[in-house]
């Protein structure tokens, strides 16, 4: 279905009359002939298609790196999309120059995506630290240069840009002065305000055959070619769906809040200090900037990291159909493999996590074939409420060991009222083992996953209660 989508592409206003589900990268390359944005995998894995997405919001215009192969054209409405061509200045930018000076580009296929990712980092990162710069390009794969040269380029880039930009009151202006971004960026906020509203249907009533889409990071991988011709019901465009807000004794997280939104939320950081660190293990920057809570849950992958973490936080899910909302415990929402307690026409509106008076001790463990940009073979989370030395209540979950993200009901109940001792942990792990049914697949043999979960459950206690258990092997 073709609906006009109006946005600013680099320094030009564009009116795209292509079907709304068209992947942004296809519009950029095929329609606009901006071929600096590359296509490597079409699955969010390589970062070659990375573009900057500037979204107006309460805090002004925020720029984030996104994978344009997984991004629906309609979701660009009212935004500023920047490709590598839109970053070019009269000479090389300090980012490009650092790559040339350090020999950090060979065939050059990956370089535009990396430069765009680093520009997003320079626009948004508070401290301009080297580690954060490395994190910013975790989703950009280079097959020929080698990452040592790229790391040197990052150091050089930071030496050049940091003194001018790190403490500047106006980062955008500082980066324009430093030649990192062209001067036309300064006028973009005002130009976006003047755009006509398109593509942004905020009504809850959608055609029955519309595809419910949030970040698209699962949908484009699973159904990419088919999506271009379909009507989309974009969760990100629904009023309040991306918000995170307090309500009485709980925090509500809009279903369209992204992993990055969660990592940046002060509210969540205050309630669950280690959460942002755990969420860093979800994929890489470009995917985290789009992957949503609702998409993770409704996709119902048995190894969804967010689902597993939220189960350990004793979360509930708000399900909405038009004006009606009902609430379910997340632990009761997953029925069987890809089967959910989701009625026709319902969407996930929010997830709530209860706040406990004395806080929750939260821990998450994940084992994947790669440290970043990969989904888990097995993952697990635990949330403990303590009453002095005793566990008052426990919520334990595991992924990759059952057809659903699994709430370990019996193991959670077993821990309640007990002290943390080697014996408690040994018995707890045995109870958990009786609740799982892993299968052998590409991510590991059933026996391996079973052994892995034992280790992860043990690791929760090693991390949360240092020195309490005998060092070395499982108790």
Ligand X SMILES: Cc1cc2nc3c(=O)[nH]c(=O)nc-3n(C[C@H](O)[C@H](O)[C@H](O)COP(=O)(O)OP(=O)(O)OC[C@H]3O[C@@H](n4cnc5c(N)ncnc54)[C@H](O)[C@@H]3O)c2cc1C
Q: What are the residues binding ligand FES (CB under 6 A)? A: 39-42, 44-49, 67, 69, 105-111, 142-145
Is 56 in contact with 276 (CB distance < 8 Å)?
Answer: no
Largest separation between any pair of C-alpha atoms in the chain: 68
Identify what 47 binds: ligand X, ligand FES, none; CB under 5 to 8 Å per kind.
ligand FES
Which positions ≥6 away from 301 have C-beta within 8 Å? Answer: 218, 307, 375, 399, 405
Identify what 178 binds: ligand FES, ligand X, none; CB under 5 to 8 Å per kind.
none
Identify what 305 binds: ligand X, ligand FES, none; CB under 5 to 8 Å per kind.
ligand X
| Sequence-separated contacts (24+) of 145-149 with Cβ below 8 Å | 145/103, 145/104, 145/105, 145/106, 145/110, 149/102, 149/103, 149/104
Identify what 235 binds: ligand X, ligand FES, none; CB under 5 to 8 Å per kind.
ligand X
d(CA 116, CA 286): 11
Identify what 294 binds: ligand X, ligand FES, none; CB under 5 to 8 Å per kind.
ligand X
- Which is nearer to ligand FES, 99 or 185 (by Cβ)? 99
Site for ligand X contains 299 (CB under 6 A): yes
Please tell me whether residue 407 adopts helix, strand or coil conformation.
Answer: strand
The residue behind tokens 């995170």 is 244
- Which is nearer to ligand X, 221 or 462 (by Cβ)? 221
Alpha carbon distance, N-terminus to C-terminus of the chain: 60
For residue 11, what are its two tokens? 């320094």
User: Residue 58: what are its φ and ψ, rounded to 5°?
Assistant: -60, -30
- Which is nearer to ligand FES, 35 or 421 (by Cβ)? 35
- Which is nearer to ligand X, 338 or 419 (by Cβ)? 338
Please tell me whether residue 312 adopts helix, strand or coil conformation.
Answer: helix
Identify what 182 binds: ligand X, ligand FES, none; CB under 5 to 8 Å per kind.
none
- Which is nearer to ligand FES, 40 or 433 (by Cβ)? 40
Stretch in the footprint of ligand X (CB under 6 A) among 80-88, 182-190, 213-221, 328-336: 213-221
Footprint on residues 348-367 left by ligand X (CB under 6 A): 348
Site for ligand X contains 400 (CB under 6 A): no
46: left (phi over 0), alpha (psi -120 to 50) or beta: alpha
Rg (CA), the chain: 23
In terms of DSSP bridges, do strands 211-213 and 232-234 run parallel, antiparallel, or are they unpaired? Answer: parallel
Footprint on residues 34-73 left by ligand X (CB under 6 A): 43-45
CA 16 to chain CA centroid, nearest Å: 27
Identify what 296 binds: ligand X, ligand FES, none; CB under 5 to 8 Å per kind.
ligand X
Residue among 180, 212, 362, 452 that touches ligand X (CB under 6 A) = 212
Site for ligand X contains 304 (CB under 6 A): yes
Site for ligand X contains 404 (CB under 6 A): no
Task: Give how many residues touch ligand X by CB under 6 A.
Answer: 32
Binding site for ligand X (CB under 6 A): 43-45, 212-219, 221, 235, 255, 282-283, 287, 290-292, 294-296, 298-299, 304-306, 347-348, 373, 375
């Amino acid at each position: 279905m073709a609906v006009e989508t109006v946005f600013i592409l680099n320094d030009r206003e564009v009116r795209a009359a292509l079907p709304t589900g068209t992947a942004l990268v296809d519009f950029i390359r095929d329609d606009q002939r901006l071929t600096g944005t590359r296509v490597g995998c079409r699955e969010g894995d390589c970062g070659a298609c990375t573009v900057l997405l500037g979204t107006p919001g309460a805090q002004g215009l925020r720029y984030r790196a996104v994978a344009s192969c997984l991004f629906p054209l309609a979701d660009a409405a009212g935004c500023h999309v920047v490709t590598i061509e839109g970053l070019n200045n009269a000479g090389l930018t300090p980012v490009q120059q650092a790559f040339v000076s350090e020999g950090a580009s060979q065939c050059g296929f990956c370089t535009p995506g990396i430069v765009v990712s680093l520009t997003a980092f320079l626009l948004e990162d508070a401290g301009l630290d080297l580690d954060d710069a490395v994190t910013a390009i975790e989703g950009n794969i280079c097959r020929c240069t080698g990452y040592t040269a790229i790391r040197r380029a990052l150091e050089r880039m930071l030496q050049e840009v940091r003194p001018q930009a790190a403490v500047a009151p106006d980062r955008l202006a500082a980066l324009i002065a430093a030649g990192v971004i062209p001067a036309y960026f300064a006028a973009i906020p005002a130009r976006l305000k003047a755009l006509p509203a398109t593509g942004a249907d905020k009504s809850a009533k959608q055609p029955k055959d519309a595809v419910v889409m949030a970040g698209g990071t699962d949908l484009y991988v699973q159904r990419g070619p088919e999506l271009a011709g379909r009507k989309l019901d974009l969760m990100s465009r629904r009023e309040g769906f991306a918000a995170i807000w307090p309500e009485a004794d709980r925090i509500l997280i809009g279903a369209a809040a992204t992993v990055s939104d969660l990592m940046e939320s002060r509210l969540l950081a205050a309630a669950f200090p280690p959460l942002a660190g755990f969420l860093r293990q979800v994929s890489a920057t470009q995917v985290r900037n789009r992957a949503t809570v609702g998409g993770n849950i409704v996709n119902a992958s048995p190894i969804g990291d967010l689902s597993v973490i939220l189960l350990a936080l004793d979360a509930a899910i708000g399900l909405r159909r038009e004006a009606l909302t009902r609430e379910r415990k997340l632990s009761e929402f997953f029925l069987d493999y890809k089967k959910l307690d989701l009625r026709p026409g319902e969407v996930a509106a929010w997830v709530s996590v209860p706040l406990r008076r004395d806080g929750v001790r939260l821990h998450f463990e994940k084992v994947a074939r790669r440290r970043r940009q990969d989904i888990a073979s097995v993952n697990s989370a635990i949330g403990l409420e303590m009453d002095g030395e005793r566990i008052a209540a426990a919520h334990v979950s595991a992924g990759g060991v059952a057809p659903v993200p699994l709430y370990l009901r019996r193991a959670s109940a077993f821990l309640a009222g007990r002290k943390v001792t080697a014996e408690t942990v040994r018995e707890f792990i045995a109870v958990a083992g009786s609740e799982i049914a892993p299968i052998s697949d590409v991510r590991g043999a059933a026996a391996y996953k079973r052994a892995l979960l034992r280790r992860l459950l043990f690791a929760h206690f090693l991390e949360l209660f240092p020195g309490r258990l005998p060092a070395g092997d499982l108790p």
